[in-house]
Chain A
Amino acid sequence: MNVLLDHLPEFRDGFVGTLLLTLASAAFALVLGVLLAAFRVSPVPPLRWFGTVWVTLFRNTPLTLLFLVMWFVVPQIFDVGMSPWVKGLMALGLYTSSFVCEAVRSGINTVPFGQAEAARSLGMTFGQTLRMIVLPQATRTVIPPLSSIMIALTKNSAIAGAFSVTELFGVQKLLSDQGFAIAWIFLWVALAYLVITFAISGLFRLLESRLEVAR
């Protein structure tokens, strides 16, 4: 019990660190994932090919391996001096974008083909058709899987702690090393994760019911 009160600043920093890292990589993954999904359904073969390769690469690579690559391989090729936080964001974002892409693409596939055909027959371009007709109707189906992906992302962000990014899991390691009761540390860290993941599922459930009304 005292671990929490005595080390409130560390826990707070860890919580904020996890929250920010999750939010930033979620935003990155969402934008990238939707773009990749657009690539994968586009009429341009090289774009489709690019999307497929991307998903195959990042979805099938262990996240820890991506972190290792970000930390030890990427700096050797582009020496741009990314901070650990940015490296963590990149690894999490790239990895998650492949899952977002596939969730969005499965949503796109649930929209009847006639909707896109009707849009095209009016003279709308591929981009207009996707943006105004297909994606808005795909959103509802995409929300539940997206919620799971974001929760997974929150938990995956713990790996960044092992790579010296300040976040919840890192706090756990720090305090355990200092010899505090491990059970209590784990409990508080787990609760902090729960707060974030519950917030995410709540937010997505809200979105889901909102979109239900709009139709």
Chain B
Amino acid sequence: MTEVSVTKDEVPPTGEPLVVLDGVNKHFGALHVLQDINLTIGQGEVVVVIGPSGSGKSTLCRAINRLETIDSGSIALDGKPLPQEGKELARLRADVGMVFQSFNLFAHKTVLENVTLGQIKVRKKDKKAADQYARKLLDRVGVGNQADKYPAQLSGGQQQRVAIARALAMDPKVMLFDEPTSALDPEMINEVLEVMQQLARDGMTMVVVTHEMGFARSAANRVVFMSDGQIVEEQSPEQFFTNPRSDRARDFLSKILHH
């Protein structure tokens, strides 16, 4: 196995460390999908994870709220290690917002119910307060007038914005985005990215797995480049896009930026 040196430019995590991955390993059968991952995400930081498909970036993202289990190493959120499956883990997941590639809105519930369900059942808010907060969030992501429709009646971009509102309704400490625009028609990508950009400006801690280089450039504090289950490069976006250190990153960028 060739030695891959991780190039780290000095971009210290801003704020207190919120998510800390330490020596995380994971296998899917013979595939070593996460290889000794060390990553610290600071309070209020926006970390964009990019890399070729199959590089383990989605798995990394999903491991942070334990939708994927890990084989070894540790993941801590706000100083506390992720608990095993059970009530404790459910509590922790409530503090970690997640936005999926395929939206995953609850198909049998209205848009409003999608955003209130977690507040009522998990946060134990009363229905009125939950409704109020949900409507505020739906307005904020620009779909306030769709509140009484079912998800299937919305466009992909609208659905994904509802999904963001649903995650935000839990007042999460950190938001995970697992390729949030990859299933969208091109003309709908921007409406979702704008919401995410606004969120970043408001100081939300975010981990974003994406192929949107424009978003990485403009919103990220730090770019993490993954390849073959390893973090190959961690840089400021400016550094990464203008002067990538590793060959893998240079190769990747040349493929996606010039066409």
Please give the residue numbers on chain A whose beta carbons come within 8 Å of chain B beta carbons, in ascending order: 43, 112, 114-115, 117-125, 128, 132-133, 136-137, 214-215
Q: Distance (Å) between the CB of A214 and the closest chain B CB? A: 8
Interface size on B, residues (CB 8 A): 29
A43-B85, A125-B87 known; A115 vs B122 contact (CB < 8 Å): no
By CB atoms of chain A within 10 A, which of B87, B90, B98 has the most?
B90
B166 CB-CB contact with A under 8 Å: yes
CA A128 – CA B104 in complex, angstroms? 17
Please give, as numbers and ranges, the residues of chain A lying within 8 Å of B105 by CB-CB distance: 118
Please give, as numbers and ranges, the residues of chain A lying within 8 Å of B107 by CB-CB distance: 115, 137, 215
CA A120 – CA B104 in complex, angstroms? 11
Q: Is the CB of A122 within 8 A of B150?
A: no
CB contacts under 8 Å to A, within B121-161, are 121-122, 150
A115-B107, A137-B107 known; A123 vs B91 contact (CB < 8 Å): yes
Q: Is the CB of B94 within 8 A of A122?
A: yes
Main secondary structure of the interface of A (DSSP, over half): helix
B6 CB-CB contact with A under 8 Å: no
CA A17 – CA B90 in complex, angstroms? 48
Q: Is the CB of A123 within 8 A of B90?
A: yes
Partner of A122, one of B87, B102, B108, B170: B170
By CB atoms of chain A within 10 A, which of B87, B97, B118, B150 has the most?
B118
Q: Smallest CB-CB separation from B87: which chain A residue?
A: A125
Q: Is the CB of B106 within 8 A of A119?
A: yes
Q: Is the CB of A137 within 8 A of B108?
A: yes
Q: Is the CB of B106 within 8 A of A115?
A: yes
Partner of A124, one of B65, B85, B121, B167: B121
B211 CB-CB contact with A under 8 Å: no
